[in-house]
Amino acid sequence: AKQSGGNRYFMFDPFKDQVARAERTALDRLQQALTAGEFELHYQPKVDMRAGRVIGAEALIRWRHPERGLIMPGEFLPLTEDTDFSVTLGEWVIHRALSQLDAWYRAGIELCISVNISPRHLQQPDFTQGLAALLSAFPELPSRLLELEILETAALHDTAHAAEVISACRRMGISFALDDFGTGYSSLLYLKHLPADTLKIDQSFVRAMLDDSEHMAIVKGVIGLAEAFNRKVIAEGVESVAHGSALLELGCALGQGYGIARPMPAADLAHWLATWRAPENWQQTKEPPPH
């Protein structure tokens, strides 16, 4: 009897069951939050540090919880990762970002918006058709104003599918960035097959580059790689003016980070756009030396 009890315990692990139940409850709560309109997008500017010009903004999701206040994506997105809800939420994000983009465009603010796509969403066989359907609701909006950010690691997971999606979307005028670039630790050969427009250097390397020569080497490496493959390169995690200056020296003009602007609600962006000036010493930076 003892033994079978042990076996039974092993087969019906109550802890695992509890975890699964808790995850389902949390997911139900997220579904409810979507219906209740508790999600919102904030926008973080991306700038050309050399030209002192704003090139676009990245849409970042937040959950305005009625009791807990603003919750960051790191706290709830992981729960959705392997579920169909991440596709539902992804579609909501795209639609919300396009509505905002359309509103800005009509108001004469011609800004490019970047939207993060979850790995699960990207993997959908009909991703491109879904995107085309969402875009068709905004017939006046030039699709070149939309950029999609996909994780380098997700693109690597199924390079053939990712390459197909990127090519099909680029034919519709949409551009692509490989996000958190450098964290995939992969053979660089695959880059040949992924027609993404931009490499987005992961912020962990950028943030540490001034104090750590190995991180600096990785940043230099990605900038060189982008050049060799004829792609654009942008640094995320530009936390200070000094980070920006160092990146400009290395030949990376595009940047995003707390040192430029934090993510902000859509309503605050127009004011930010009207008042932002690049730091003096960025604009004095000469063109990078020829390679």
Amino acid 41 reads L
Determine which residue in the list 179, 222, 223, 251 makes contact with ligand C2E, applying CB under 6 A.
179
* Partners of 179 in beta bridges: 151
- Residue 199 binds which entry of ligand C2E, Mg ion, none, CB below 5-8 Å type-dependent: none
Taking the C-alpha atoms of residue 290 and residue 73, their distance in angstroms, rounded to an integer, is 41
Query: Least separation, in Å, of the C-beta of 182 and ligand C2E?
Result: 12
Beta-carbon neighbour count of residue 253 at 10 Å?
Answer: 23
User: Which of 92, 285 has the CB closer to Mg ion?
Assistant: 92
In the list Mg ion, ligand C2E, none, the entry touching 152 (Cβ below 5 to 8 angstroms by class) is none
Query: Which of residues 30, 54, 93, 278 is near ligand C2E by CB under 6 A?
Result: 93
The answer to whether residue 152 forms part of the interface with Mg ion (CB under 5 A) is no
- Runs of H (alpha helix) within the chain: 2-11, 14-35, 73-80, 85-106, 119-123, 127-136, 152-157, 159-171, 203-208, 213-228, 241-249, 266-275, 280-283
Query: Considering only residues 83, 143, 203, 245, which one is a binding residue for ligand C2E as defined by CB under 6 A?
Result: 203
Residue 118 touching ligand C2E (CB under 6 A): yes
Please tell me what DSSP assigns to residue 183: S
Q: Which is nearer to ligand C2E, 194 or 234 (CB)?
A: 234
* SS3 at position 170: helix
122's contact among ligand C2E, Mg ion, none, with CB below 5 to 8 A by partner kind, is: none
Residues numbered 84 to 123 that lie near Mg ion (CB under 5 A) are 116
Report yes or no: 235 and 206 within 8 Å, Cβ to Cβ: yes
Please select the residue that binds ligand C2E; options are 74, 108, 289, 290, rule is CB under 6 A.
74
Residue number closest to ligand C2E, CB atom: 257
Instruction: Write out the binding residues for Mg ion, residues 174-213 only, by CB under 5 A.
Output: 179-180
Print the SS3 string covering 88-116: HHHHHHHHHHHHHHHHHHHCCCCCEEEEE
Q: Is 61 in the site for ligand C2E (CB under 6 A)?
A: yes
Q: Which stretch binds ligand C2E (CB under 6 A): 23-31, 110-118, 124-132, 139-147?
A: 110-118
- Is residue 56 close enough to count as binding ligand C2E by CB under 6 A? no
Distance (Å, rounded) from C-alpha 24 to C-alpha 230?
45
